Structure 1
Amino acid sequence: MTHGLIHHIELYVSDLSKSTAFWGWFLRELGYTSFQKWEGGQSWKLEDTYLVFVQAEERFLDIPYHRCRTGLNHLAFHASSREFVDEMTKKLQQRGVTILYSDRHPFAGGENHYAVYFEDPDRVKVELVAP
């Protein structure tokens, strides 16, 4: 049953090529596949849910995103296991992605919350959570 599940999330980004390189790799690792692609955007889909990334218009690029303002704080994804979180953490580090809260990793969310936190190219926080 899909009633109530997220259909899609659309994010406007400052540099579509950087964002699609970052998100494309990460989402493929989670099992998403490329769904739609057009001049100003791209999406990836997993089952009935998809994520869309759209190039923000030039006139809005002087207002930088910050997750502590009104709006989106972060996106959190399920991981299949703690081992997968560990594998992804290594891959993120190899790609030069900063791990947030590294002094408390992988328990930055609390002693019973095993996850890795990091940022996309626009500094949107992303969380990958083990069961």
Structure 2
Amino acid sequence: MTKGLLHHIELYVSNLEQSVTFWGWLLEELGYEPFQKWDGGQSWKLENTYIVFVQAEERFLDIAYHRCRVGLNHLAFHATSREHVDNMTKKLEERGVKILYKKQHPFAGGQQHYAVYFEDPDRMKVELVAPELQGSVVEKTQK
């Protein structure tokens, strides 16, 4: 059943070519496949959900995105494990991607939240989160 699940997310970007390079690599690493491509846009799909990137019109580029304004703050994706987070962190660094909260990494979200936080070309925050460990404090309190 897909009721309530996200169908798609559409993001307008300042530079489609840069965003396609950044997001295409990341999404394909996470199991997404190229889905649609047209002049001014491209999307990737995983099962029933797809993410669309569209080139913003020139007249709207004078107002830069900032995650602390009203609107989208960040996108968070599931990782398969802590090792997956570690491997992706290395790959992100090799690609010159800005890792956020480096002093607290990989526990910037707390001791039970193993994740890497980073920025896309428009400085939108992206997060890759490992599953919680069996027997964690959080899991014990939910039983």
**How does the TM-score come out when normalised to structure 2?**
0.91
Q: CA deviation at 1:98?
A: 1.0
Match of 1:89 in 2: 89
Secondary structure, aligned partner of 1:63 = coil
Q: CA deviation at 1:52?
A: 0.2
Higher RCO, 1 vs 2 (CA within 8 Å, ≥6 residues apart): 1
Gaps of 5+ in 1: none
Aligned partners of 2:108, 2:26: CA distance in 1, in Å? 20
Secondary structure, aligned partner of 2:22 = helix
User: Where does structure 1 differ by over 6 angstroms across 4 or more consecutive aligned residues?
Assistant: none
Give % identity.
79
Which residue identity does 2:98 align to in structure 1?
A: T
Highest Rg: 1 or 2? 2
Which residue identity does 2:22 align to in structure 1?
A: F
Q: CA deviation at 1:40?
A: 0.5
Match of 2:99 in 1: 99
Describe the superposition over 1:20-77 as per-residue Cα deviations: whole angstroms up to 9, x where unpaired: 0000000000000000000010000000000000000000000000000000000000
Is residue 28 of structure 1 aligned with residue 28 of structure 2? yes
Secondary structure, aligned partner of 2:12 = strand
Which residue identity does 2:11 align to in structure 1?
A: L
Gaps of 5+ in 2: 132-143
Secondary structure, aligned partner of 1:17 = helix
Which residue identity does 2:69 align to in structure 1?
A: R
Q: CA deviation at 1:117?
A: 0.1
Match of 2:59 in 1: 59
Paired residues in the alignment total 131
Which residue identity does 2:34 align to in structure 1?
A: S
CA RMSD of aligned residues (A): 0.3
Aligned partners of 1:49, 1:129: CA distance in 2, in Å? 18
Aligned partners of 1:94, 1:117: CA distance in 2, in Å? 15
* 1:111-126 aligned within 5 A: 111-126=111-126
Secondary structure, aligned partner of 1:123 = coil
Which residue identity does 1:55 align to in structure 2?
A: Q
Aligned partners of 1:2, 1:83: CA distance in 2, in Å? 30
Match of 1:78 in 2: 78
Aligned partners of 2:38, 2:72: CA distance in 1, in Å? 24
Which residue identity does 1:41 align to in structure 2?
A: G
